[in-house]
Amino acid sequence: MKSPTLFSTLLLALFLSLFAACSDDGSSSPTGTGEAIESSVSQDGKSSATSSPATSKNETSSSSESTVSNSSANSSSATSSSATSASKSRGKTLVAYFSRTGNTKPLAEYAAEYLDATLFEITAKIPYTDEDIAYYTDCRADREQKDESARPEIATAVENMDEYDTVIIAHPIWHGIAPRIISTFLESYDFSGKTLLTFCTSASSPLGQSAKLLQELTPNSTWLESKRFAIGTSREEIEEWLEDVLHP
């Protein structure tokens, strides 16, 4: 009796230890695998933390950029009378230009025609005579450009500025920057929430600080990238630039 009991006890003990060994494998294996999975996930997570979120950041920024253009495009289709202009411009558009010697004027006209925009000429209340713009003679223009606070009066006002979503301002470069009358124009209206864009012509000077100084006058507007054009720039070049800048 004793030896069969001892035998069965031994058998039971062997069985139990075998079972315990099996169940250990079963529980440790998922933990090990789990750790392996976790680390591979976190490695993946890390790699996606460097690629995926960066991608989505890009996507976010581009989608917020496209939100801007979409909302403008929406308002464009809401207010614009022609489907063509709605697709080319960003909402109802005004092209305002100052052109004392006539170089900037045709470029402003090309832009207005291409965008089916309203064209507005900024003219000085006291017109600039030839003597006034004979630069480097301490002429009126020279003095105004030296004086940051100079604000030459404008002869006429834009009616219903509120209606415009986008305002494009074209001007010459006078002593490296926009003529002070452009500052007068920018300070004459509330451009908050509007899209603003400037372009200029010059004999040779680059855009320089011109656009940056104008942007500081209307911080609550969305400013698109400005550009300097050579005198005699073609219609095609202006249209190409408008496409690039309005629909990047």
Q: Which is nearer to ligand FMN, 201 or 218 (CB)?
A: 201
Q: Which of 119, 133, 161, 245 binds ligand FMN (CB under 6 A)?
A: 133
Longest CA span, the chain: 134
* 174 is a site residue for ligand FMN (CB under 6 A): yes
Residue 1 lies near ligand FMN (rule: CB under 6 A): no
Residues 6+ apart with CB under 8 A from 194: 164, 165, 166, 167, 221, 222
Rounded to a whole number of angstroms, the minimum distance from the CB of residue 152 to ligand FMN is 12
Kindly list the distances between the CA atom of residue 83 and the CA atoms of 50, 135, 159, 164, 200, in Å, as whole numbers in the listed order.
42, 45, 24, 17, 28
Residues ≥6 apart with Cβ < 8 Å to 137: 131
The verdict on 93 binding ligand FMN (CB under 6 A) reads no
**76, 89, 198, 201: residue in contact with ligand FMN (rule CB under 6 A):** 201
- The reply to whether 166 sits near ligand FMN by the rule CB under 6 A is no
| Closer residue to ligand FMN, CB minimum distance, 86 or 170 | 170
Site string for ligand FMN, 23-52 (x = CB under 6 A): ------------------------------
* 104 contacts ligand FMN (rule: CB under 6 A): yes
| Contacts with 223 (C-beta within 8 Å, 6 or more apart), sequence order | 195, 196, 197, 211, 215
Residue 119 makes CB contacts below 8 A (sequence gap 6+) with 95, 97, 108, 109, 112
Binding site for ligand FMN (CB under 6 A): 99-105, 133, 135, 141, 172-176, 201-205, 231
